[in-house]
C-alpha cells in the first residue's frame, strides 16, 4: 500500500493536550486523521481509529499499525497502561488509565464485550478497588491489545516470537498462547487468543517495547515497520 502522505511528527500521537470534553473518558487525543506510510489513512472517531477496509482486512498491517502506535507513545505515558478498546472489527482505539492498572481481568472482560463503558471502568473504580489495584500495582511494561479478523493466530508484525506457554482460560473455548520476543535483551511479550463471541477474531496483546528493529530489517531495511519506527523516533 503506497503512502499518500506522512504523519506530522509534531502532532504527537499520544500527547496529552487540550483533550476535548467528549474525549475525556480515558482515550488519548488523536489527530482527526492519521496517515501511516504504507498503511494508508485512518480516520478518527471519538472512540479511536476507524481502519480502512483494506487495512482492517490485513492482519499484518493491523499488527504493524498497533506496533507503530505504541512506538509513538511518549515515555511518560508509556508508564501508564495502554489498552485497546474493541469497538468493532475496523476500530482500533487505545485507552489510557491514570495509573498503571494491572488488571488483566478487567481487560479480558473488556475483550469479551461484557462492558460497554470501558472509560468509566477505569476512571470510576471504587476506592476499595483502587486500593486493591494499587496494592498489586507493579512496575509493568506498557501494553496494548487489538483484535483482528484473521484465520491465523500469530500475525506477522515483523518480529520473531517464541511461544513459551499456552493456557485455557476460564469461560473461553480457545486457549491463550504466550509469546516472547526471541531477540536477546528484549523482554517484549504478547498474548494471542480468540474472541469468545467470534472465533474469527484474534485478540493480540503486546506488553513492553522492543529495544530493536523488527527482524525483517535484518534482511530488508525498507520494511514498513522500520520506516515507521524511524519516522516517529
Partner DNA sequence: CGCCTTTGACCGGCGC
Partner DNA sequence: GCGCCGGTCAAAGGCG
Binding site for DNA (CB under 7 A): 104-105, 108, 132-133, 135-136, 160-167, 169-171, 176-178, 182, 189, 191
Phi, psi (rounded to 5 degrees) for 179: -125, 150
CB of 171 to DNA, least distance (A): 7
For residue 45, list its beta bridge partners. Answer: 48
If phi over 0 gives left and psi between -120 and 50 gives alpha, with beta otherwise, what is residue 158? left
Q: Could you give phi then psi for residue 63, rounded to 5 degrees?
A: -65, -40
* H or E element in which residue 96 lies: strand 91-96
User: What ranges in 124-216 are assigned the alpha helix state H?
Assistant: 127-135
Joined together, the cell numbers standing for residue 123 give: 476512571
Q: Residue 140 or residue 232: which is nearer to DNA going by CB?
A: 140
- Minimal distance, residue 108 CB to DNA, in Å: 7
Of residues 43 and 163, the one with the C-beta less far from DNA: 163
Q: How far is the CB of 45 from DNA (least distance, A)?
A: 28
Q: DSSP class of residue 211?
A: S
* CB-nearer residue toward DNA: 80 or 207: 207
Query: What backbone phi and psi angles, to 5 degrees, belong to 163?
Result: -75, 130
Cα separation, 66 vs 45, in Å, equals 17
**Least CB distance from residue 102 to DNA, whole Å?**
7
The three cell numbers of residue 1 are 500500500
Distance in Å, CB of 17 to DNA, minimum: 32
Q: 70 or 133, CB closer to DNA?
A: 133
Contact status, residue 27 vs residue 87, Cβ threshold 8 Å: no
**Closest separation between CB of residue 179 and DNA, Å?**
7
Indicate the residue among 122 and 189 with the shorter CB distance to DNA.
189
Instruction: Kindly tell me which of 56 and 202 has the beta carbon lying closer to DNA.
Output: 202
Q: Which phi and psi angles does 31 have, rounded to 5°?
A: -60, 155
DSSP secondary structure of 202-226: EEEEEES--SS--GGGGT-TT-HHH
Amino acid at each position: 500500500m503506497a503512502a499518500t502522505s506522512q504523519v506530522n511528527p509534531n502532532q504527537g500521537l499520544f500527547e496529552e493536550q487540550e483533550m476535548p470534553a467528549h474525549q475525556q473518558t480515558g482515550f488519548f487525543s488523536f489527530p482527526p486523521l492519521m496517515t501511516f506510510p504504507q498503511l494508508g489513512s485512518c480516520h478518527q472517531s471519538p472512540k479511536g481509529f476507524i481502519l480502512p477496509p483494506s487495512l482492517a482486512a490485513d492482519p499484518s498491517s493491523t499488527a504493524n499499525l498497533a506496533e507503530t502506535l505504541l512506538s509513538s507513545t511518549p515515555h511518560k505515558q508509556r508508564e501508564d497502561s495502554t489498552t485497546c478498546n474493541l469497538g468493532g472489527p475496523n476500530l482500533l482505539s487505545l485507552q489510557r488509565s491514570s495509573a498503571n492498572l494491572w488488571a488483566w481481568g478487567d481487560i479480558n472482560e473488556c475483550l469479551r464485550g461484557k462492558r460497554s463503558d470501558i472509560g468509566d471502568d477505569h476512571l470510576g473504580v471504587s476506592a476499595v478497588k483502587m486500593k486493591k489495584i494499587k496494592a498489586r500495582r507493579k512496575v509493568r511494561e506498557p501494553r496494548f491489545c487489538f483484535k483482528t479478523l484473521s484465520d491465523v493466530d500469530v500475525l506477522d508484525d515483523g518480529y520473531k516470537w517464541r511461544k513459551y506457554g499456552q493456557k485455557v482460560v476460564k469461560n473461553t473455548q480457545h486457549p491463550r498462547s504466550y509469546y516472547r520476543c526471541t531477540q536477546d535483551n528484549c523482554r517484549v511479550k504478547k498474548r494471542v487468543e480468540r474472541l469468545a463471541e467470534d472465533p474469527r477474531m484474534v485478540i493480540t496483546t503486546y506488553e513492553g517495547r522492543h529495544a530493536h528493529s523488527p527482524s525483517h530489517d535484518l534482511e530488508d531495511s525498507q520494511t514498513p515497520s522500520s520506516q515507521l519506527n524511524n519516522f516517529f523516533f
